Structure 1
């Protein structure tokens, strides 16, 4: 019987899947909605299966083969032990391994070599690998971590807008524009903040970069502070990898370099592949031997 591998990249915005043969050759892809297992585990489960089934259909295969596939999943929110156990017991695959979405991104970007990745999107996390040791820096979630992330940038921009409204800080084109998004009515901004999830705040991060490039002093102050946090985390991963290769990943990866310290910019390399490719590679290394024995 033909056997298949599944790679899953599940984040707070979407879930992507790839199906591959036993040799790791990718045959098809699928995509569905959010799959953060900490914030919405049951929604994540549904979207993981939906993306996996879509990948089989995209490959011209029966979606029912999901149940006999071996899967390697990189999932946002995997740092809560009870949640991982809950998800593992309910996955549709024959066998599965759950790791962080950051780890599969590291594997895709650097292959089996040493180095580090900084994932700078709605959230942020820094991952370093040296020999067989993998270290995670940050990634503690929006409420008490994720410094330098899109969510934090967006929130800081809204905070500065209200400081400008109250004439505590001088207004700037960015704060004026952001207040305009809420019809210049701060209670509407406050109401938004009470309902907002990290991704909602993250939608305002592009304002910071756009206005900073135009010389906006408030935007530049926010970016200077945020880039300082990123630099500090990169110093830590540099220590762990003896100053080795560094990849920036995520939605802000192309925007941050001009604001980072030269010592980090000079180490930047282009990622070799994406997170799904990393998930399939890890699935093959995890299950390849047992699949060969079962043939």
Structure 2
């Protein structure tokens, strides 16, 4: 296995921490007709259910390192690789909140990983960037990542364009939290006897949460309010699939918001009539959808496809190639082989040892 180049990908988010070991066998660089790509195989991975802590300096680098270094050593050992300096060529960390909460990671990770694993090449990225890399690789296009929250990211490979991702109080429009909150509001309207209410959604609130009068007390004090709100989104989808017009209207609104975010981040020039020539010499701009929200089924996907066709007639919707952990590995592999083409930008994608 000495002919392999070893890289690590890290996905740190609100639902926990995942670390994967990847291997690049020999010279696997290949010309895709757009950018040079590198094939990296996932060898092994490990997951931690508890998220990395945040503190006064943002994401706690010490807490991340307490898990990352032993996890990396264990993955290397299981792969039969001697844990030694420079065993790992590059590491890419995708972290939620990197843009505003990444100061501690920037200050501590480069020296710490160089000292513990001999790593000279490190990429620190927003989780939206690793979601993009997992979905589209290093191609120009747009990606919508939606689960509890929602963010859209696009690039022409020179700059990043971002839309939403402002959290459940100020944005994340069309996300699981947005859909769940709208569904709860419609249920409470029905409970009050106000217009716009849904008896079907009220019945689901009573089944899931109990007496609606107690809902504010059970929701407002929670530190994980977005996740609690998002937990009701599948109930909205269920009611919509069963023909409830209020639930269907909520899902149609979510689809509209998601398509608007995708349209806002498509590379400049993609909306021209000759987009196939202007934005991408190979074909029309690609838009990928990634994240758990899109597992809700046709109740959301049917109106979303219609909105995408209306708002982005010049785009082609494609399946995501992989998840954010795969994206982190691909960024690490590109960094290790000097083939990284995704834009470097403070708070989005920053590299050391380049």
Question: What is the TM-score normalised by the length of structure 1?
Answer: 0.84
Q: 1:257 aligns with which of 293, 301, 318?
A: 301
Change (3 A) 1:287 1:182: same
Q: What displacement does 1:223 show?
A: 1.3
Q: 2:90 aligns with which of 58, 70, 87?
A: 70
The alignment status of 1:273 with 2:301, answered yes or no, reads no
Q: 2:251 aligns with which of 223, 237, 241?
A: 223
CA distance in 2, matches of 1:36, 1:258: 36
CA distance in 1, matches of 2:217, 2:93: 37
**Total equivalences in the alignment:** 289
Q: Which residue of 2 aligns with 1:143?
A: 169
Q: What displacement does 1:198 show?
A: 1.4
1:129-278 paired onto structure 2 within 5 Å:
129-169=155-195, 170-195=197-222, 196-238=224-266, 240=268, 242=270, 244-254=285-295, 255=297, 256-260=300-304, 261=307, 262-263=309-310, 264=312, 267-278=316-327
CA distance in 1, matches of 2:256, 2:187: 21
Q: Which residue of 2 aligns with 1:19?
A: 21
Q: What displacement does 1:214 show?
A: 0.6
Q: What displacement does 1:184 show?
A: 1.9
Q: What displacement does 1:55 show?
A: 3.7
Which structure features the higher share of helix residues? 1
Query: RMSD between aligned alpha carbons?
Result: 3.1
Q: What displacement does 1:65 show?
A: 7.2
> How far does the alpha carbon of each residue in 1:56-93 deviate from its partner, in whole angstroms, 9 at most, with x for none?
3553456787996631111111120xx31212334342
Change (3 A) 1:136 1:55: farther
What's the secondary structure of 2:139's corresponding residue?
A: coil
> How far does the alpha carbon of each residue in 1:135-187 deviate from its partner, in whole angstroms, 9 at most, with x for none?
11111222212111111111222222222211113442122211332322412
CA contact (8 A) 1:153 1:222 kept: yes
CA contact (8 A) 2:93 2:328 kept: yes
CA distance in 2, matches of 1:50, 1:198: 31
CA contact (8 A) 2:140 2:267 kept: no
Q: Which residue of 1 aligns with 2:274?
A: none
Q: 1:32 aligns with which of 43, 48, 58?
A: 48
Question: What is the TM-score normalised by the length of structure 2?
Answer: 0.71
CA distance in 1, matches of 2:319, 2:95: 23
CA contact (8 A) 2:205 2:212 kept: no
Which structure features the higher share of strand residues? 2
CA distance in 1, matches of 2:238, 2:149: 19
Q: Which residue of 2 aligns with 1:84?
A: 102
